[in-house]
Amino acid sequence: MSSSTSSIFVLVHDFKIDRVLSFSSLTPENHSLKSSFHGIKGKKSKGKGREGRLLIPVRINYKKIIIINMTVEEGRGVIDEEYTQDGTVNLKGKPVLRSKTGGWKACSFVVVYEIFERMAYYGISSNLVEYLTKKLHQGTVTSSNNVTNWVGTIWITPILGAYVADAHLGRYWTFVTASTIYLSGISLLTLAVSLPSLKPPKCFEKDLTKCKKASTLQLAVFYGALYTLAVGTGGTKPNISTIGADQFDDFHPKEKKQKLSFFNWWMFSIFFGTLFANTILVYIQDNVGWALGYALPTLGLAISIVIFLTGTPFYRHKLPAGSTFTRMAMVIVAALRKWQVPVPRDPKELYELDMEEYAKKGSYRMDSTPSLRFLDKACVKKGSNTSPWMLCSVTQVEETKQMLKMIPILVATLVPSTMMAQTNTLFLKQGTTLDRHIGSFKIPPASLGAFVTLSLLVCVVLYDRFFVKIMQKLTKNPRGITLLQRMGIGLVIHTLIMIIASFTERYRLKVAREHGVVESGGQVPLSIFILLPQFILMGTADAFLEVAKIEFFYDQAPENMKSIGTSYSSTTIGIGNFLSSFLLSTVSRITKEHGHKGWILNNLNESHLDYYYAFFAVLNFLNLIFFSIVTRCYVYRAEVSDSIEVLAKELKEKTVQTSNHVNPKDYLLSLLVLEGEAWIYDSLDDGMSLEDDLDYRGGGAKWKLTRCFDL
């Protein structure tokens, strides 16, 4: 063999034998052919033998890794793999059968949960600015900032939830614990809006800011409930979507294909719940009462939790892999401590764990990449100090690199997240100044958010069913276009939204002046539906940007950091809301200097939201340029199974030499990385050493696969 040859290890799941054999240990660094049987715990299988996991040493050239999943049974040859191949287990930590768990069967519970949970969340958030104004008597800037600060917290806390899931409890138990906190918070909030003693007295002043303010105790109970709810969502948000995605095995062609549509339909479920909240619930809150309007979301959340728990037997789980933040910190600290140490040109000289170590943990090993080379210093051996804060593995360094490389993309999505914050604040406030009647029916301003939902639902369906199929033929990309291209289209639409919003507001102010309702702050004789274009386009933008953003951060995160990757998406929304609060307060303050009235006042007819929206349009355009620059530099993380379907098709066309006992159609390819040539070697301690031959004779099950592949 050439000098570029090395040994790796491949776990083959569901290997059934008639008796447990004794195997000698295999040294990864030793190129001589040895035998190993890793972690076999035989168990009876209907009297036909035992099943376990076989560790096969594979010799490779040019770093090409191919995993072949096989099952051997008495009287049969290689058959389809029964167990999942992505390291998922049940709640007891044991491998799970593909046929009984995961897939859309498990995801159906997750998706239905999300419908009810989103109904609960948006039942509170969609109309919150109205409650703060009408019931707690807060002004435009104060109420808007209180909403965006709370929403920002809602979307920032998932970082904590992701940390707990990855480092300690796992996704399932973190989710269940957080759901209890979530339900407690929303229940207390319902009491806060229901009991007269927990809110200020009614006020009939036209300018509600002149009414009696809420007491310290009333505010403490109300905001205490809101932020308890926020802590609860911090544990549910990053884990529920990840739990859903975990139900699809990337090493199985059919499930991998199903996963491509998961995030589209995930967003569909989110906005289906949102649609109910923005129509039925906000109408109840405005016209029936806030007590019932908040009690229904509380009931919806309770139902959603029950639905999720019902699906527990069908879920696949990934074991917590340790603190992501600690692992990343170790890499950065180790690299800084060895900043003067040169990085060797040959990646093989860098420190890396044996493949067997990763196999034991059910995790993945990553090859060294040329990006962010400074961090490679963390895996350069220096002396005998092997402290984890001094020496890190190549995989650990590559995981850190990948998380850091996504940060510029995260930054580029902050501005559109700030735009989204306007939907439930200033856009809604605009609606209160317009004619909301259709005959005798009065439309709640927050119901305009339903058009965001409807637009998104339509666009997601059209995108998934038509756009993707058309683009697949042109680009040969399974997604139609790349995730970053999809996000870029969303950013362009966001710029267009703020331009339209600025012109619409300018027209509204013109009509207000013409009808003499500027100083009085009276209703402008225009239909509320003049705001529809900006709401509809917001839904269209979400269909591109938000769906792609969630999928991008999940897809590009390393396998052991998926929860943190998902939290990146929520973090952008959280920071975007805090940025909205900062910009609103800053612009309001600056524009009032030197005796000016200012752009943002309690009386919107005297304000200049048109200037504010124009400012956002410019900000969006500059952000689009920044996004274009960072995406040109971004290199996608290689997917573990990009070429499954193509290679499976190629294998069917190849001549596979076998004995009469093996059906070549039964052999399943599940993973391809890079290029080269590979052979499976004899892994059984039967005294045989054949480079091109894997031979097993045990009990009644006999099979031989000669030169099983040669690519």
**CA 298 – CA 281 distance, rounded (Å):** 12
CB 326 within 8 A of CB 333: no
pLDDT band at 383 (very low <50, low <70, confident <90, very high): confident
- The residues, ordered by sequence, that sit 6+ positions from 476 with a Cβ below 8 Å of its Cβ are none
Asked if residue 666 has pLDDT above 50, the reply is no
Q: Are strands 701-706 and 657-658 parallel, antiparallel or unpaired?
A: antiparallel
pLDDT band at 603 (very low <50, low <70, confident <90, very high): confident
Determine the pLDDT at residue 96: 80
Asked if residue 245 has pLDDT above 60, the reply is yes
Asked if residue 233 has pLDDT above 50, the reply is yes
Q: What is the full DSSP assignment across 420-456? A: HHTTTTHHHHHHHTEE-EETTEE--GGGGHHHHHHHH
**CA 117 – CA 213 distance, rounded (Å):** 32
Determine the pLDDT at residue 229: 95
Determine the pLDDT at residue 91: 82
Determine the pLDDT at residue 51: 35
- CA–centroid distance for 418 within its chain: 19
Most confident segment among 44-58, 78-92, 626-640: 626-640
- Judged by average pLDDT, the poorest of 241-255, 258-272, 398-412 is 258-272
Mean pLDDT of the region 681-703: 33
Q: Which two tokens stand for residue 218?
A: 């009333």
Task: Read off φ and ψ for residue 669, nearest 5 degrees.
Answer: -85, 135
**Digit-coded pLDDT (tens) for 99-113:** 788 888 888 899 899
**CA 681 – CA 704 distance, rounded (Å):** 12
Mean pLDDT of the region 53-82: 36
CA angle 200, 204, 205 (to 5 degrees): 100
- The residues, ordered by sequence, that sit 6+ positions from 336 with a Cβ below 8 Å of its Cβ are none
Determine the pLDDT at residue 426: 87
Asked if residue 363 has pLDDT above 90, the reply is no
pLDDT band at 288 (very low <50, low <70, confident <90, very high): very high
Q: What percent of the chain has pLDDT over 90?
A: 32
pLDDT band at 249 (very low <50, low <70, confident <90, very high): confident
* Radius of gyration (C-alpha) of the chain in whole angstroms: 29
* Of 133 and 489, more confident: 489
Asked if residue 168 has pLDDT above 90, the reply is no
pLDDT band at 227 (very low <50, low <70, confident <90, very high): very high
Determine the pLDDT at residue 320: 80
Determine the pLDDT at residue 93: 78
Q: What percent of the chain has pLDDT over 70?
A: 76
pLDDT band at 117 (very low <50, low <70, confident <90, very high): very high
Q: Which two tokens stand for residue 420?
A: 């989204």
pLDDT band at 656 (very low <50, low <70, confident <90, very high): very low
CB 85 within 8 A of CB 238: no
Asked if residue 544 has pLDDT above 80, the reply is yes
Asked if residue 494 has pLDDT above 80, the reply is yes
User: Taking the model in full, what pTM does it have?
Assistant: 0.71
pLDDT band at 634 (very low <50, low <70, confident <90, very high): confident
CB 108 within 8 A of CB 269: no
Alpha helix stretches (DSSP H) within 318-445: 324-337, 355-361, 394-405, 407-412, 414-421, 426-432
Nearest to 364, CA basis, from 331, 396, 324? 396
Determine the pLDDT at residue 532: 93
Asked if residue 305 has pLDDT above 70, the reply is yes
Tally of residues, the chain: 711
Asked if residue 28 has pLDDT above 50, the reply is no
CB 99 within 8 A of CB 562: no
Q: Which two tokens stand for residue 615?
A: 């400012």
Asked if residue 140 has pLDDT above 50, the reply is yes
Determine the pLDDT at residue 150: 94
pLDDT band at 498 (very low <50, low <70, confident <90, very high): very high
Determine the pLDDT at residue 369: 85
- The residues, ordered by sequence, that sit 6+ positions from 499 with a Cβ below 8 Å of its Cβ are 613, 614, 617
pLDDT band at 663 (very low <50, low <70, confident <90, very high): very low
What mean pLDDT value characterizes the chain?
76
**Digit-coded pLDDT (tens) for 549-585:** 988 988 888 877 776 787 788 889 999 999 999 999 9
**Digit-coded pLDDT (tens) for 344-354:** 888 888 888 87
Mean pLDDT of the region 690-705: 31
Asked if residue 705 has pLDDT above 60, the reply is no
* Of 233 and 383, more confident: 233
- The residues, ordered by sequence, that sit 6+ positions from 360 with a Cβ below 8 Å of its Cβ are 38, 39
- The residues, ordered by sequence, that sit 6+ positions from 519 with a Cβ below 8 Å of its Cβ are 603, 605, 606
Mean pLDDT of the region 182-192: 96
Mean pLDDT of the region 299-320: 91
Mean pLDDT of the region 138-159: 89
Asked if residue 710 has pLDDT above 80, the reply is no
Helices 170-194 + 103-125 axis angle, to 10: 30
**CA 109 – CA 314 distance, rounded (Å):** 9
**Digit-coded pLDDT (tens) for 412-449:** 999 999 988 888 888 988 988 899 888 888 888 888 88
Mean pLDDT of the region 210-225: 89
CB 311 within 8 A of CB 109: yes
SS3 content of the chain, % helix, strand, coil (to 5): 60, 10, 30
- The residues, ordered by sequence, that sit 6+ positions from 367 with a Cβ below 8 Å of its Cβ are 63, 347, 394, 398, 673, 674
Determine the pLDDT at residue 688: 37
